[in-house]
Amino acid sequence: MEELNQLILQRREKLLKLQEMGINPYPYEFSRTHSSADILADFEKLQEKEVAVAGRIMSNRLMGKAAFFHIQDMPGKIQIYLKKDEVGEKTFEVYKLLDMGDIVGVNGKVFKTHTGEITIYCQKLELLSKSLRPLPIVKEKVEEGKKIVYDPFSDKELRYRQRYVDLLVNPEVREVFIKRTRIISAMRQFLNQYDFLEVQTPILQPLYGGAAARPFVTHHNALDMKLYLRIADELYLKRLIVGGFDGVYEFGNDFRNEGIDRFHNPEFTQMELYVAYKDYHWMMEFTEQLISRAAQEVLKTTRIKYQGQEIDLAPPWRRLPLFEGIKKFTGRDLAGLDENKLRREAENLGVSVEDSWGGGKIIDEIFGEFVESKLIQPTFITDYPLEMSPLAKKHRQNPQLVERFEPIIAGKEIGNAFSELNDPIDQRERFEGQMELRAKGDEEAQVLDEDFIRALEHGMPPTAGLGIGIDRLVMLLTDSPSIRDVIFFPHMRPEQSNL
């Protein structure tokens, strides 16, 4: 055990004193009648009425025999006025043993102070939970309608590691996560209107697939077998389309064993959707509806600002075939070039390529370098090279391409979709192509899944599929610069110091 510092010791002493006074510092329940927001919103009706509120003490101003403090509950804060004459000697003594961060219940009457702040005139004060650690003290002042914050709790490492503290003292963080939930709800609601079925598929998988990525590996003791954490839901959801569901979707976490940065967390959330009898053209229209409506629902507008860039999510979004995009931004037409020629083009453009890369990878690299970051307004990049997309159906006009699109917004892809490959013979060949890449050392090439092919052999209807990176979408809609700002507990290296 670490030596307790002074502040913690003082709080423990207060805890003991309270217990000696017969106070249970951790009682079992408290009946609330209102939230802080209810009272602020309904002051006219509630004035002079008795209310019961509960929350955490977030400010404290003791003035001899009276005191003001704010308590914070989920929607916000409300001020409490406590007077010794009103609550009596003992309660006032209890109050003096409370600290910032303690959770209390207050019964009292609603009134307005001389300075006009809606306040509860405390008649009964009850300790609901004693806090033993000091909270960062953030003070704020409102001046000319603007909120000035003093000493904000701003150390990013501490904020990510101790999100509970971050959430308590930085209200805008809470707002981001509430929006995150609302965005997902709005999407779900939209999907359900189409009678798509929300499902759950395995996270622990004997074979992983559906994306190009390295997996996390784990072990099942009883079966003594290797299991992988899924990198995508795709192959299982398509089995469900084979099984006769016309539309299925899943919100779930995928796990990819890769580096961590502003756009990548090893564990992230995806929504995948598969719809029978539709193709990628239909899916593009669906996607722009899905995203723009979620924005409309949650933000009440489709015009958003992301890191200073004005973006309009209202449909229709631009459609731009991949090769046209490259041509537009580099002046080079790469369509139909073989691998050697592509390699030369890459060199001319100053893009470094590795020997092991195939043509598709080189094209992707050039696209990433010259095109992607320029696409600020929502754009569907369509029609990718065949070898980059082993699960997508060949383009109906050009067998070198597949019917695939990625929605790109603010220079980042937020999803991936195709007309799904449902020809089992073609699918087997594509998997075999992947296995060859794997043999050449491409660790991200996909693995042959015999059972998936067996499923396709039973017949899968023409199907359109879509994956949306929920974290990136939330970043976009909440103007968050880092994926860590939209994941409650982003992955961090273990901390070394004692707690």
Partner RNA sequence: GGGCCAGUAGCUCAGGUGGUAGAGCAGCGGCCUUUUAAGCCGUUGGUCGGAGGUUCGAUUCCUCCCUGGCUCACCA
Q: Which of residues 146-165 bind RNA (CB under 7 A)?
A: 150-158, 160
Q: Which residues on adjacent β-strands are paired with residue 82?
A: 67
Choose which of 22, 64, 308, 399 interacts with RNA (CB under 7 A): 64
Residue 368 in contact with RNA, rule: CB under 7 A: yes
Q: Rounded to the nearest whole angstrom, what is the least distance from the CB of residue 243 to RNA in the complex?
A: 27
Q: In angstroms, rounded to a whole number, what is the distance separating the alpha carbons of residues 269 and 452?
A: 23
Q: How many residues bind RNA (CB under 7 A)?
A: 75
Q: Rounded to the nearest whole angstrom, what is the least distance from the CB of residue 77 to RNA in the complex?
A: 10
Stretch that binds RNA, among 28-36, 137-145, 310-318, 433-441 (CB under 7 A): 137-145
Q: In angstroms, rounded to a whole number, what is the distance separating the alpha carbons of residues 407 and 198?
A: 23
Residue 307 in contact with RNA, rule: CB under 7 A: no
Quote the tokens at residue 98. Answer: 């409370």
Q: In angstroms, rounded to a whole number, what is the distance separating the alpha carbons of residues 188 and 176?
A: 18
Choose which of 81, 95, 255, 370 interacts with RNA (CB under 7 A): 81
**Maximum distance among all alpha carbons in the chain?**
89
Residue 100 in contact with RNA, rule: CB under 7 A: yes
Residue 4 in contact with RNA, rule: CB under 7 A: no
Residue 396 in contact with RNA, rule: CB under 7 A: no
Residue 61 in contact with RNA, rule: CB under 7 A: yes
Quote the tokens at residue 167. Answer: 């959430």
Q: In angstroms, rounded to a whole number, what is the distance separating the alpha carbons of residues 409 and 468?
A: 12
Of 293 and 472, nearer to RNA (C-beta) is: 472
Q: Rounded to the nearest whole angstrom, what is the least distance from the CB of residue 365 to RNA in the complex?
A: 7
8 A C-beta contact, residue 332 and residue 341: no
Q: Please list every residue from 326 through 365 that binds RNA, using CB under 7 A.
A: 352, 364
Q: Is 353 exposed, middle or buried (0-12, 13-18, 19+ CB in 10 A)?
A: middle
Helices (H), ranges, 233-279:
234-242
Stretch that binds RNA, among 38-46, 134-142, 235-243, 341-349 (CB under 7 A): 134-142
Choose which of 50, 93, 297, 413 interacts with RNA (CB under 7 A): 413
Choose which of 1, 6, 31, 355 interacts with RNA (CB under 7 A): 6
8 A C-beta contact, residue 11 and residue 84: no
> x/- binding map, residues 251-290, to RNA, per CB under 7 A?
-----x-xx-xxxx--------------------------
Q: Rounded to the nearest whole angstrom, what is the least distance from the CB of residue 391 to RNA in the complex?
A: 12
Q: In angstroms, rounded to a whole number, what is the distance separating the alpha carbons of residues 30 and 52?
A: 9
Quote the tokens at residue 24. Answer: 């249970």
Of 230 and 293, nearer to RNA (C-beta) is: 230
Residue 461 neighbours by CB distance under 10 Å: 14
Q: Please list every residue from 419 through 438 that binds RNA, using CB under 7 A.
A: none
Quote the tokens at residue 40. Answer: 């602020």
Q: In angstroms, rounded to a whole number, what is the distance separating the alpha carbons of residues 193 and 237?
A: 19
What DSSP string runs through 166-190? HHHH-HHHHHHHHHHHHHHHHHHHH
Of 298 and 323, nearer to RNA (C-beta) is: 323
Residue 323 in contact with RNA, rule: CB under 7 A: no
